Chains A and B, each alone.
Chain A
Amino acid sequence: MERIQVLVCAGTGCSIGNSSSLVEKFEEEIRSIGLENEVSVLKTGCLGLCGHGPNVSIYPDNIIYKGVHEEDVREIVQEHFYKGRPVHRLMINETDMDTSEIHDVNKTKFYEKQRRVALNDCGVIDPENIDEYIAKDGYTALGKVLTEMTPQEVVDEITKSGLRGRGGGGFPTGRKWQFALNEPGDEKYVICNADEGDPGAFMDRSILEGNPHSVLEAMAIAGYAIGAHHGYIYIRAEYPIAVDRLKTAISQAEELGLLGKNIFSSGFDFDIEIRLGAGAFVCGEETALIQSIEGERGMPNPKPPYPAHSGVWGKPTIINNVETYANIAQIINHGADWFRSIGTESSPGTKVFALGGKITNTGLVEVPMGTTLREVIYEIGGGCPNRKRFKAVQTGGPSGGCLTEEQLDTPIGFDELVKLGSMMGSGGMIVLDEDNCMVDVARFYMDFIVDESCGKCTPCRVGTKRLLELLNDICEGRGTLDTLDELESLCNTIKETALCGLGQSAPNPVLSTLHQFRDEYIAHVVDKRCPAGVCKALMKYEIDPDLCRKCGLCARNCPVSAISGQVGKEIYHIDPEKCIKCGNCLTACHFGAVVRK
């Protein structure tokens, strides 16, 4: 009789850490001591602690082991499964070391403040087994909608819940559905936008990998609500695991008749097709996405007409983000009032964030709206590693901006972040510490935009290129105070004139760093100095003559022989002309005589 279930994370993060071989290893070890009837091993989705992966959770104890490698498996099987002694050194929370009590993961710092709605069953169920989703009340919402509710009632419920689009803009989902429902005609489409392109963001991927059925169910509900019979999932081919799981999920749902003809004998037909994108950032923009689905080159079109009026094949279409869909079934099951009870007045519900950059707990977190950034970064994320000072947090990817230490007590919400010059975006959250140069950060995002601009409109195609050149000038020491003014005015022009959302928001990272960290820009253009020591052209290495012990270690480590002096006799000196600023001398010197300026 089964008494323990082992769930090995099979998300992209843990798969990179070779979690698939762990499954085999567990099975092998379990068999070797004859526990195969008592312990079962399953694959599951992301639990959020991607930075510590591969992760393995053990039920019913509800323990997560982090960083499990093949050589740890035998110990876990023999100690924990056979003798009932959890392996403390692999458990996620340090405090667990103090007592031998088995701790529930929900009481650890990382999970205590989280509330999982969109990620509800992620990491608990096997995403490749539809039965497990059904056991967790899966497809009941679809059944309820088809047998008890009219399309208008469904739309009303979503409107009442106050759910806003999780892809970035925060447009009320219910209103979008209402527009599409009002359109005449029986050929309409439902699209799931899974073209997640922000650097460092992986919320949608994790949902699709961990619980693909939640998205399929919601799309069918949306189809019923607006009167559509066909859905597309637009997903990038760069997410092979998510695509595979979706395919499996669709075929399982079809087999059980939860997709297809006459679902729940209600006369409602709905099918879903996957469309693979090549990974262009602009295809996350809805009009470009529609073009791409139609087989055209992915380029945006002016709005209006909005997709709800004329979308794919010129028919009324709704496009929602993966995370938005992941909330739908739960709103139907628990009611709009339940959803409204989480989060804030203007932004109900939760939001999933991908924490990245200079943060201790890199990974995926879901918090109620209204949680402060400080709680997310310091309490859940564990702050900056290596005792570095926090400098800023970048939200909203290439369309967002940076928030500083003083703004960390802002409650998270769509409107709150826009007010501060950033935006929610799809949920990437990149933490920057004192070693990050803000001009360089702005340049990184601009470089990304220049690569990803589709080239249809001039402000974006030419403007962002010019912005990048100006930023390069600043980083390489050619900037002046005029460059900053030029930068700002060009940003504003692009914002006002670009065709689509990508172009209009492209200058945001520049504008926001320019406002929040103007002193760093000024240090670059006036003092020709990079305070964080990132911009190589502005860096200078020098040897402090008072500290130099004439040992010659720096000269021996210099790859370009830029350091001259004589062992024991003459103080060493760096020739700035020859120096390539590699920093070898700085690490080599035992006496701290080499300084970077």
Chain B
Amino acid sequence: MKSLEDLKKIREEAKRKMTMRLGEEQKYRVVVGMATCGIAAGARPVLNTLVEEVSRLNIPVTVTQTGCIGLCSLEPIVEVFDAKGEKTTYVLMNSEKAKQVALKHLKNDEVVEEYTIGQYKK
């Protein structure tokens, strides 16, 4: 170990592998419905895309899964909770849409209106 810089390099590298355990303030918590209905409708690629995108964009977001959210006909469903607990629900998701949500909503804080449940009901 030659300098503090060397240590910092190792730290940043190691941090990426354990972000989910660092307990730092998270900007959003993303929950993907992964019950049988969700999985059948293609929730797994959605979940994996979200995890990959969050890591690639390096944003403080937790991605977890839950069971049936109830609206089985609109699965895959993704719920985004902000730090205050306010919820945005995206429905009929796929990987492509998930990428958009990650970039626009999770990174740049703009809700992607066209995929939300409110928009669908109109």
What is the interface of chain A, defined by CB distance below 8 A to chain B?
Answer: 1-3, 5, 7, 38, 59-61, 82-85, 100, 102, 124-125, 131-132, 134-137, 139-140, 143-144, 147, 256-258, 263-265
Contact = CB atoms under 8 A, between A and B. Distances in A.
A124 B51 contact: no
A545 to B, nearest CB: 63
B58 interface: no
> Chain A binding site: helix, strand, loop or mixed by DSSP?
loop
A264 B1 contact: yes
Contacts of B7: 134, 139-140, 143, 264
B65 interface: yes
Contacts of A100: 67
A7 B39 CA distance: 26
Q: Which of B2, B11, B21, B62 gathers the greatest number of chain A CB atoms within 10 Å?
A: B21
Contact of A84 (B1, B2, B17, B64): B64
Contacts of B62: 60
Given A3-B51, A124-B21, A135 B14 contact: yes
Given A5-B18, A125-B21, A135-B18, 17 more contacts: A1-B51, A1-B55, A2-B51, A38-B51, A83-B35, A84-B67, A102-B66, A125-B18, A131-B10, A134-B7, A134-B10, A134-B14, A135-B14, A136-B22, A143-B4, A264-B4, A265-B2
A59 B14 contact: no
A5 B21 CA distance: 8
A3 B48 contact: yes
A114 to B, nearest CB: 14
B14 A131 contact: yes
Contacts of B55: 1
A477 B20 CA distance: 62
A84 B33 contact: yes
Contacts of B51: 1-3, 38
Given A59-B20, A124-B21, A132-B18, A264 B65 contact: no
B99 to A, nearest CB: 13
Contacts of B64: 60-61, 84, 102
A5 B3 contact: no
Contacts of B96: none
Nearest to B4: A143
B104 interface: no
A256 B7 CA distance: 9
B55 to A, nearest CB: 6
Contact of A60 (B1, B52, B63): B63
Contacts of B36: 83
Nearest to A139: B7
Nearest to A84: B65
B98 interface: no
Interface string B51-93: 1100100000011111100000000000000000000000000
A232 to B, nearest CB: 22
Nearest to B55: A1
A2 B35 CA distance: 20
B54 to A, nearest CB: 9
A143 B4 CA distance: 6
A143 B10 CA distance: 13
Contact of B48 (A5, A38, A60): A38
B34 A83 contact: yes
Contacts of A258: 1
A60 B20 contact: yes
A481 to B, nearest CB: 59
B32 A135 contact: no
B25 interface: no
A135 B11 contact: yes
Which 5 residue pairs spanning A and B have beta carbons closest together? A84-B65, A84-B34, A135-B14, A60-B20, A257-B1
Contacts of B33: 84
Contacts of A136: 22
B67 A265 contact: no
A100 B31 CA distance: 14
B42 to A, nearest CB: 14
A143 B62 CA distance: 31
15 contacts: A2-B51, A3-B48, A5-B18, A60-B64, A84-B34, A84-B66, A100-B67, A102-B64, A124-B21, A131-B17, A134-B11, A135-B14, A135-B17, A136-B22, A143-B4
Given A147-B4, A257-B1, A3 B11 contact: no
Q: Which of A102, A131, A257 gathers the greatest number of chain B CB atoms within 10 Å?
A: A131
A125 B21 CA distance: 8
A85 B67 contact: yes
A263 B1 contact: yes
Q: Which of B36, B47, B65, B66 gathers the greatest number of chain A CB atoms within 10 Å?
A: B65
Q: Which of A5, A134, A263 gathers the greatest number of chain B CB atoms within 10 Å?
A: A134
A136 B21 CA distance: 10
